[in-house]
Structure 1
């Protein structure tokens, strides 16, 4: 049902009031609704109009007048949904009524097209009352309104303009905007006005300035539009401005929150993340910001359970101040907050709060932090705000904000903003704490599994370096080892477990232990890697390993014999070592490289090379030579050049290599092991061929006694004769010829070795009371420090080692 929009009166000819008549017309042009105002306007009752064509109401012959609502025309809406213009209608008494008509296209409840038509009597000019209304609207508009002539001098200004510039309309009249408001933005506005006068087009811009009597800068949305007459001649410009300060600061807060999300937490470092929080807050939220964290965070420790009570001690981790003002101390130091202080109250409630510096609570707390209180007095701080740093139910610290350059105090919106950015920072700080804890645990485990120092050895001088991966990568599984072997030999090992973190460290510890165990039974390098490969395959098939990924590793295992000066090497997917002969140039040691450990069922090969005494071997993991920015061959050349440089010690060679190759931020662990070879001279080794006859045992004892006398080891003759007698007897009785006896003497260590071509190894056992044999190896084990057996390419070697220095010192009392 059509309702009248106004009630003009009861008389049909009462058209002096301003009212509108409404009707509805369907898509065929048939009137479907007729209001009481329409009856008063045209004199037709609804029963006379409804159901009939609307075109019958037209007083002039306008073809398709009703259909013009949807036709193209000057009053047609851009989307075809309406039309407006002037038409002449026929009154019931035959008179003509000129009206302004507005038609809106819509839909009925049934889905049919329907036009809603509004019309009002046409009026040629504004009445006096309307002129007064327009004047009042201009003067009382909530927006700044001002008119300037073509010389850009003020003609008229409303009350909002008067309030903004603290001048009356009469005082502004005849002045330019730059004269009314001496501000750079006013000059920018005048340039925009001139552009409008020249082009006749509107200009939109924004200003940021303080109005008289206000302490805070306002944001203004400004529109400058041309004022033209009916001949389109430029008469001046209209200046309008809307105060959008609240919307502007809301947008700035959203931008700051977004910036906090991108700038805070870029690293997994607790102190750096705290500094990022302070940097984001200054100067857009505060003029000075500090971040105090509980001390357990810096070590990655777990937080103490329960709420914080009583005085709380924190570490001042981050400080940032605007302008040239320096904070009292930028280095970390401890701060203790009493239980009544705003930070502790903030931590107890878990809510941020703002204070004026004249607040009694602030005055009571200031003496407990003299440095900060002195800075607040010197800078003229007038408003402070504290916000808790909490994440995942854990209290991490507190952020402190202050203002001395911003004239306005902190308000509720600032408190909400501080809460938002500190909450985001808290999550990042807690992530950094968790990473620090895991990294500390991994590094501690890694350090405990790696040798802290390498023992001195007669065969080689060694030096090493181990560097864990930097940044957020975490500790990896690189390892190295130097393992003494029988016969004055030494094993040099470098390996790398795939992956990072605790799992890689634990796997590295397992493999290093396995290598030491396999080396203790003197397996050849290729056989040792085969057994190690089986172990890695078993580790990879464990249920526990399946949850963290496949287990894989590379390894280089080398055995150096100082008597023969030969080095036997085998590699499982590991980079080739670098060798530097005395006075020569560094070269990669060409050798077959087997598959990485963990593939299974693939053979490993060995390489054997004779090294002059004083040769330098460099073993390393791929983290030293692999780089995203350099070719691997270029990095190898750099390594070769670094190890070739003359240096007083191997430690200095290590430093030279790292200086040349260490990247600023390594994504992988780095292990470096350098070994300079030594050799046992002819005067330290003696050997004899022993006939496979029982009578040869006596001559073997004599050979050993004579050699010990030549070495000045008379105290060791008796024990050595017993050891030689037992080992040679066993070789003659159970072994196969040829049989060899060899003595080695170095660094107060005497080694006796008996070799034969039988692969059968002896076993120590305890003889029964009436047994006539079975006590030999037990006697050898008790008379010597160490003994054992090792396989050789043509049989086996049984050896026994004595510490002749301890023997010469005599028994302890």
Structure 2
């Protein structure tokens, strides 16, 4: 009986069978030796019976070193022990096994992807007599799948926010480590601030800011720190990529690489220290403008960048460029909205003596648009002051513009000295009209909402009384000098614009040195806590008082505001003052024309006590006009009051609700000139209604003096019949 020299098995049959077997033997040899697989055959004891040259080269061993030995004896190590277990599994079950792995084998310098097939070899009776192992290099297919997966991941991982720096960081995170070992993202200086880069080619000498960088090893080999700006040499791949608009691939052996080393030895020293040998710079371009450059580097343990790597880097950078440009545009729009918002807020607080104030406005986090929160401090007559906080529904430029309209409306209504509840009633009507206008002008896909909340408080430093009303707003807090903190129980009312329900105000006497805290709900409300928890945090923050209101504001924001606020917040802190008794003079007057002269005399004496006798001329004239009008046209009781503050205020109160109106008297009119004269001599005058009548007031600068030539200095007013009481005693 003859044996097959290849399989060591008997050859049976006649001469024809022997000839056929002889013909098949070379073909079998060719198939085994020329297979693209690295092949090996092992017996039931896992001893190698046959191995082809490709397998020998893969293991960096000769056939003699492998054949006749167990796999783990010839090739020790965990990976080959795992392969032996799979081979034993195939021998036991008779079922093939397919595995893929990515590793470095002894015959290769770098890691590669391998497809490992293990199958049983069975005889005619179906018994497993040996096991066949085939290993195929699938590195290119593996890398193609990895590239596709990388692009797919980039579509969701890059651009999760509208923040330029965060988007640049996401690009770095995506490429590490699958595409590069080190990555830099440098943006033009104008881009980081949201500005529009200049069109056209980028100059050779360019200033860029490091937006993001990263390294697989953690230690980034760069002399530029995050956020720093730097001038890049013309020989650098990043600058060459910017100026050409095309990717630049370089590395060891490239003349451009050598020129780069010579021009920047301090930078290249770090590169060489970390074994980085392959550089790929890709310009970041979107919508026809250049935003910056992304640089990718590979170290000594990886192959240099190949043309396929350049394509994938371009794809990833292009996706990031669109997201970066969107973030840049959003940054610009946000900066515009924020500039508008801040320009509509008080640039500085007006001078007044009623309260000491400090305020803060904080926009929401970058993922949310600028809101419509605002605060204001409005000086009123009689040394009083109005404190306002409000919040317009919505975000963006629309909310900022709406806030500006609303703040102007509040100032206009405050100028006519309306009580808090009446002011909010008028404001509610205005917001209703604004809403109707928005509904008529808004496109179908845009909501026309124009809602708002507001809190309005008026504090009088003479009486220490404070009137407060609110429309859908959070209640104010009051911190008394003894340190106790309470939220003032102001009657609740719906937000502005809903209409239908009246507003109510509360009046309370505030101790001297108390602190009023007005705020919007963005300070105390967030997604992870309700408003009650926010109010409690505010209470605890206010319990830690500080002599400085600026420090108080910082403490409140640091203790109460969430780390990532979803809404903007406005905060206004006011510490109350009081005008002392020697700054106010009050006289109750009977409704008798003869009392006018006595009133002028008392006023003159008081001005002399205050050492402002130069204001006597104008003050006497104002007192004569206002008291005379009250006696002639109103009803008692009549009260005259002088307030010495930053200005000198003269007030006459009566029991009538009819207010005088300024008009120009015609030539033959017998009246109407007195009030015009008061308006000419004082810097401001007006009327405010009270619960028991009205008060007419006039303010004059403390530098006011009698004009040269007496009344003639103000022109011809004709017969001053409104002042002709007892021959204008004391004025003649």
Same fold, TM exceeding 0.5?
A: yes
159-168 or 435-444, larger mean C-alpha shift: 159-168
Matches within 5 A, 1:71-150: 127-150=21-44
How far 1:269 moved relative to its partner?
A: 2.0
1:215-254 mapped onto 2 (5 Å cutoff): 215-254=109-148
Name the SS for the 1:720 alignment partner.
helix
Identify if the C-alpha distance between structure 1 residues 143 and 629 changes in structure 2 by more than 3 Å, giving closer, same or farther. same
- The range that moved more, 207-216 or 146-155, is 207-216
Q: 1:482 to 1:378 in 2, by over 3 A?
A: same
Deviations 1:95-143 (A, max 9, x none): xxxxxxxxxxxxxxxxxxxxxxxxxxxx999643234433432333222
Alignment of 1:158-237 (within 5 A): 158-211=52-105, 214-237=108-131
> Which shifted more, 438-447 or 277-286?
277-286
Distance 1:601 1:325, change over 3 A: closer
* CA distance 1:367–1:511, shift in 2 (3 Å): farther
TM-score (norm 1): 0.79
CA contact (8 A) 2:182 2:220 kept: no
Correspondence 1:500 to 2:395:
yes
Whole-angstrom CA distance in 1 between matches of 2:630 and 2:272: 94
Query: Is the Cα contact below 8 Å between 1:216 and 1:408 reproduced in 2?
Result: yes
Given that 1:545 and 1:551 are in contact with CA atoms closer than 8 Å, whether structure 2 keeps it comes out as no
- Helix, strand or coil at the partner of 1:266: coil
Q: Tell whether the 8 Å contact from 2:479 to 2:514 is kept in structure 1 after alignment.
A: yes
**2:433 counterpart of 1:538:** yes
Deviations 1:333-360 (A, max 9, x none): 4444566764444345543242233322
Aligned length: 686
The TM-score, its normalising length taken from structure 2, stands at 0.88
- 1:392-444 Cα offsets, whole Å, 9 max, x none, are 22211111122223442111110011011101111111111011101111111
Checking the alignment, whether the CA contact within 8 Å between 2:615 and 2:704 is kept in structure 1 is: no
| Deviation at residue 634 of structure 1 after TM alignment | 2.3
SS in 1 for 2:394: strand
Bigger relative contact order, structure 1 or 2 (CA pairs below 8 A, ≥6 apart): 2
* 2:238–2:248 Cα contact (<8 Å) kept: no
**SS of match in other structure, 1:719:** helix
Asked if 1:685 corresponds to 2:584, the answer is yes
Alignment partner, residue 763 of structure 1:
661
Cα distance change, pair 353–647 in 1 and its aligned pair in 2 (3 A): closer
In structure 1, the residue matched to 2:682 is 784
CA separation in 1, counterparts of 2:191 and 2:242?
16
CA distance in 2, matches of 1:202, 1:708: 112
Residue-by-residue CA offset, 1:511-549 (whole Å, 9 max, x unaligned): 111111110111121221122222222222234455453
Question: 1:354, 1:385 within 8 Å by CA — same for their partners in 2?
Answer: yes
Q: 2:503 aligns with which of 591, 604, 607?
A: 604
> Considering only aligned residues, what root-mean-square deviation do their CA atoms show, in Å?
2.6
Which residue, out of 521, 531, 536, partners 1:632?
Answer: 531
| 1:462 shift after superposition | 1.8
Aligned residue in 2 for 1:712: 611
1-side partners of 2:442 and 2:592: how far apart?
Answer: 57
- Deviation at residue 486 of structure 1 after TM alignment: 0.5
Correspondence for 1:750: 648
Question: Which position in structure 1 is the counterpart of 2:337?
Answer: 442
Cα distance between partner residues in 2 of 1:568 and 1:166: 92
Question: Shift of the alpha carbon at 1:687?
Answer: 1.9
Are 1:346 and 2:241 an aligned pair? yes
1:480 has 2:379 as partner: no
CA contact (8 A) 1:265 1:428 kept: yes
The residue that corresponds to 1:119 in the other structure is none
- Would you say 1:156 and 2:55 are equivalent positions? no
**What secondary structure does 1:555 align onto?**
strand
Contact 2:65 2:74 in 1 (8 A): no
Other-structure match for 1:409: 304
Measured at CA, do residues 216 and 562 of structure 1 come closer, stay the same or move farther in structure 2, by a change above 3 Å?
Answer: same
Could you tell me how far apart the structure 1 residues matched to 2:670 and 2:318 are? 84
> Residue in 1 aligned with 2:414?
519
Contact 1:319 1:327 in 2 (8 A): no
Change (3 A) 1:637 1:653: same
Would you say the 8 A contact 2:473–2:520 is kept in 1? yes
1:374 aligns with: 269
Listed one character per residue, the Cα deviations across residues 711-749 of structure 1 (whole Å, up to 9, x for unaligned) are 333332232111101111122222233222111223x43
Please list every run of 5 or more consecutive structure 2 residues that lacks an aligned counterpart in the other structure.
1-16, 709-732
Going from structure 1 to structure 2, the CA distance change for 1:732 and 1:368 (only over 3 Å counts) comes to farther
Aligned to 2:278: 383
Match of 1:674 among 530, 553, 573: 573
Cα displacement (A) at 1:752: 0.7
Check conservation: 2:614, 2:703, Cα contact below 8 A: no
1:395 aligns to 2:293 (yes or no): no
Q: Of residues 141, 147, 166 in structure 2, which corresponds to 1:272?
A: 166
Please give the alpha-carbon distance, in whole angstroms, between the structure 1 residues aligned to 2:508 and 2:652. 25
Q: How far is the alpha carbon of 1:573 from its aligned partner?
A: 0.6
Superposed displacement of residue 216, structure 1: 3.3
Deviation string for 1:593-614 (max 9, x for gaps)?
A: 2211122343222222222223
Determine the structure 2 residue equivalent to 1:320.
Answer: 214
Conservation of the 8 A alpha-carbon contact between 1:287 and 1:405: no
Deviation at 1:233, TM superposition (A): 4.6
Measured in 1, the distance between the counterparts of 2:228 and 2:548 equals 41
- What is the CA–CA distance in structure 2 between the aligned matches of 1:582 and 1:379, rounded to whole Å? 64
Q: Tell me, what secondary structure is at the counterpart of 1:308?
A: coil
User: d(CA) in 2 for partners of 1:335 and 1:734?
Assistant: 78
Q: Could you tell me whether the CA contact under 8 Å between 1:185 and 1:207 is conserved in 2?
A: no
Q: How far apart are the structure 2 equivalents of 1:337 and 1:614? A: 59
Contact 2:354 2:460 in 1 (8 A): yes
Aligned to 2:360: 465
> Which piece of structure 1 moves more, 436-445 or 182-191?
182-191
Query: SS in structure 2 opposite 1:571?
Result: strand
CA pair 756-577 structure 1, distance change in 2 beyond 3 A: same
